Amino acid sequence: MGDKIVTLTDARFKEEVLESKLPVLVDFWAPWCGPCRMVAPIIEELGEEYSGQVKFGKLNVDDNPMTAQTYGINSIPTLMIFKDGQVVDQLIGAHPKNRLKQAIDKILGQ
């Protein structure tokens, strides 16, 4: 995982995501999930492109079931964008990079 992507845990979710000054895109994933592996390099690229504007994090749902349950994650990958501690957008499944950019740009008001 690149240094632009934060590894999230149940214990650090509040601090890293809910209290973040920047919008945060969270990738809820698991190592056994094929579509999650397809999305991972896109998340890495977006982390570089939006550095300083948006924070990116990955949460392994197998290792962090409390957070996954809190947000009703039933299908992975699920991407949620948080702003000011609230979910402002959600994408379920593997999406192309341009669709993810649209969602991020909308949140940034671009």
Strands 5-8 and 55-60 turn out to be: parallel
Query: 6, 26, 33, 73: which is the annotated catalytic residue?
Result: 33
Query: 6, 8, 26, 36: which is the annotated catalytic residue?
Result: 36
82 assigned to active site: no
CA 61/CA 82 separation, integer angstroms? 17
CA 35/CA 86 separation, integer angstroms? 26
- H helices of the chain, in order, are 13, 34-49, 65-70, 97-108
CA 100/CA 104 separation, integer angstroms? 6
36 assigned to active site: yes
Pick from 102, 103, 31, 36: nearest CA to 62: 31
Catalytically annotated residues: 33, 36
